Structure 1
Amino acid sequence: MNIRRIDSGFDRWDDLLALILSSFAYMNGRIDPPSSAIALTSSSLARKAQAEIAFLALDGEMLVGCIFLRPETDCLYIGKLAIRPDAQGRGIGRRLLEIAEETARSLKLSTLRLETRIELVANHATFAHWGFAKTAENSHTGFARTTSIEMRKVLGA
């Protein structure tokens, strides 16, 4: 497996969109509101990659994972961590999170932050296993109930 940062020469936006949509497909009908992934387009992904720090995991030429990172004042936000369903369980997500940790350290940020939907209890457990702790409950606009939780991981030196 090869990990590389998305740069200006990357042109496989349709493939990346397909990867994200396939990875997030299991959420369809399980979470409310629906995932923001369904609103992505190849063009919006290209803009997102320009505005954020994005990495790909490749198995040969096949895209098998991605992660988008956004520096914030006190942390590095992890968004759109996606692994192809047929590639899950091979340590790709863990490796992408290690890249996020390295990136945070290089930016002098001591914490990783992510959000996961309240309904996705297995994701909560996975992130907890990877060292994240629940730090907040949030509601999407228009919802009176909790729709997501925030989790953070404080990085060691």
Structure 2
Amino acid sequence: MTLRRLDDSFDRWNELLELILVSFAYMNGRIDPPSSALSLTPQALREKARNEIAYVALDGDRLAGCMFCRPEPDSLYIAKLAILPSVQGKGIGHRLLTVAEATARERGLTALRLETRIELIGNHATFAKWGFAKTAENRHAGFDRTTSIEMRKVLI
């Protein structure tokens, strides 16, 4: 398994979109509102990678995982952390988050931050196992109930 930071030479945007959609498919019908991944396009991913810090995990030549990171004033925000279902549980997510920690430290940031939907209890447990703690409950515009939770991992 190798990790690659996305740059202008990356040209597999359709495959990357498919990776995200397949990885997030288990959420369809479980979360409300639906995942923003459903509105992504290859061009939107290309632009996201230009404006953020993005990595892919490669299993040979196959895209197996990805992660987008955005520096904030005191943390590195993790988004679209996606691992193909067929290779989940093999440490790819952990490796991507280890790179995120190094990226945050290089920028003098003291934490990683992410959001996960309230309905995805398994994600909460996985992120907690990786050192993240719940720090807030949030709601999407137009909702009168909690729709997501924020989790942070303080970097020591």
Q: Same fold (TM over 0.5)?
A: yes
CA distance in 2, matches of 1:87, 1:125: 19
Aligned residues: 156
> Given residue 78 of structure 2, which amino acid in structure 1 is its aligned partner?
I
Q: Hey, which bits of structure 1, 4+ residues long, moved more than 6 A? A: none
Query: Who is 1:45 aligned against?
Result: 45
| Partner residue, 2:30 | 30
Please, which runs of 5 or more residues in structure 1 have no aligned partner? Answer: none
Determine the structure 2 residue equivalent to 1:61.
61
Amino acid at match of 2:75: C
Aligned residue number for residue 122 of structure 1 = 122
One-letter identity of the residue aligned with 1:40:
L
Cα displacement (A) at 1:75? 0.5
> 2:79 corresponds to which letter in structure 1?
G
SS at match of 2:49: helix
Cα distance between partner residues in 2 of 1:22 and 1:120: 16
- Name the SS for the 1:143 alignment partner: coil
Q: Give the aligned residue type for 1:27.
A: M
* Residue 101 of structure 1: how far off its partner (Å): 0.2
What's 2:107 paired with? Answer: 107
TM-score with structure 1 setting the length: 0.99
> What amino acid is the match of 1:127?
F
Residue identity in the other structure for 1:66:
C
**Residue type matched to 2:130 in 1?**
W
Structure 1 distance, partners of 2:21, 2:72, is 26
Partner of 1:143: 143
Q: CA deviation at 1:151?
A: 0.2
Identity %: 69
Could you tell me how far apart the structure 2 residues matched to 1:121 and 1:89 are?
16
The CA distance in 1 between the partners of 2:39 and 2:4, in whole Å, is 25
**Matched residues in 1 for 2:155 and 2:73: separation?**
15
What residue number does 2:98 align with? 98
* Counterpart in the other structure of 1:89: 89
Gaps of 5+ in 2: none
Q: What's the offset of the Cα at 1:46?
A: 0.3
CA-based RMSD: 0.3
